[in-house]
Amino acid sequence: MSPTDRPIALRGPVLTYTGDPFRDGLARTMVHEPDAVVVVQDGHIAQFGPATEIAPSLPADVEVRDYGRNALISAGFVDTHVHFPQTPMIGSHGNQLLDWLDRYTFPTELKFADRAFTREVARTFLRENLRNGITTSCVYCTVHSHSADILFEEAEALGLRLAAGKVLMDCRAPEGLMDTVQTGYDDSQALIAKWHGRGRLLYAITPRFAGTSSPAQLSAAGALWREHPDCLMQTHIAENKAEVAWIRELFPDHRHYLDVYDHHGLCGKRAVFGHGIWLEDGELQRLHETGAAIAHCPTSNFFLGSGAFDLSRALDPKRPVRVGLGTDIGAGTSFSILATLNEAYKASQLNGQALSAEHAYYLATRGSAAAIHLDDRIGSIAVGMEADLVVLDMRSTPLIDFRMNQAESFAEQLFVQMILGDDRAVQATYVAGRLAHIRT
């Protein structure tokens, strides 16, 4: 038996979900085991249950990693919207969306013509993901095909489940960042053939947004997706009021922003639309009908002054839309999913709702996995699921340690983590059952 095949057992408190608590309630969907054992083998979860049931039956040679009662073992976090090439510009000063693209994003992405620079950024990006317990992400690359190649190479070396795609952008952008209808299509085809379904990797067809793709390129992207319907499709929508107005000027014959994508065959199952703050009711209805998803990116939305996404409106039980969580680096201000949940809570407050911690952790795990139609493989702890796991330290800072002494329930403990926690709370990250990060 090789070391990669040998089972290991993680012991400690566990939080996971068997379904959607927004739809079916926490009592029916949330599983909290104060002392549990998770056995992983061959990259998957082999056993899971209360320690009193699992521990006595473990073979004597199984390594047990006991994280103690102040830990929390969860499915790895899932990031449904992020730009790895914007890692070098995170924390750049302000401006709103369209100015931000011109002043920071495009000049930074021009640097990715350099393969060595691209690899350095890809490695930094993936390392930060693991430090923050993110085990799956849906990633925008640049227009350069090698940006996707290099990111996939680095993710494959780590055994990560990851979706990514080269950006399609044939107009209204700097010369060095534009492809053409034909080259964008051909390059994407080649990348799909090389990477989609290889190991744990998936391809995401990636028109940046309607403002930087011609109708012909949007049509070509739609044709590509029809040829490869098991790929994801990712783009941006209704992030900023000025952007919405601009798209209306560019496409005056369409009913609304989503109709631009829908008309070109870019709205359906496995579509992930970033932001969606300013969507009309008809657009939400269409997203519901097609099984498409919105990636909620609160740190970015607040940083750029775009607005506060109304989660409760998107999840309206009369026509619920799939919603995942996104860090949206680099307008997003943190790789930490806990920090992102902090801002998601504030966005909900501004819309008259109080997002509970129990619902928020679903959003960061199984909910985001469901948004990208991967909840049959990742996002929860259950026998047969891929063993992507994060171990949180529930007392990671002196303030959190003090505050936890006052917490009177598990719900309050969870809420403390999502409001006060950050990367320091992640003490271990497992990728397909292998320890990929340990806090030093």
Strand partners, 322: 293
Backbone phi and psi for residue 23, each to the nearest 5 degrees, phi listed first: -90, -45
Query: Are 261 and 218 in contact, with CB atoms under 8 Å apart?
Result: yes
Q: Give pLDDT, residue 3.
A: 43
Backbone phi and psi for residue 9, each to the nearest 5 degrees, phi listed first: -125, 130
Q: Residue 365 gets which letter from DSSP?
A: I
Per the structure block, which two tokens stand in for 113?
């013509």
Q: Give pLDDT, residue 14.
A: 98
Q: Give pLDDT, residue 95.
A: 79
Q: Give pLDDT, residue 1.
A: 35
Q: Taking the domains of the chain in order of start, what are their residue ranges?
A: 8-76+380-438, 77-371
Distance CA 202, CA 188 (A): 12
Quickly name the fold that domain 8-76+380-438 has. Answer: Urease, subunit C; domain 1 (2.30.40)
Architecture of the domain whose range is 77-371: Alpha-Beta Barrel (3.20)
Q: Residue 102 gets which letter from DSSP?
A: I
Strand partners, 206: 167
Residue pLDDT, tens place only, 71-94: 999 999 999 999 999 999 999 887
Q: Give pLDDT, residue 100.
A: 82
Backbone phi and psi for residue 320, each to the nearest 5 degrees, phi listed first: -65, 140
Distance CA 21, CA 265 (A): 31
Q: Give pLDDT, residue 2.
A: 41
Given a cut of 70, the residues of the chain with pLDDT beneath it are: 1-4
The residue among 257, 261, 258 whose CA lies nearest residue 249 is 257
Task: Collapse the DSSP code of 158 into the 3-class scheme (helix H, G, I; strand E, B; otherwise coil) and give the result.
Answer: helix
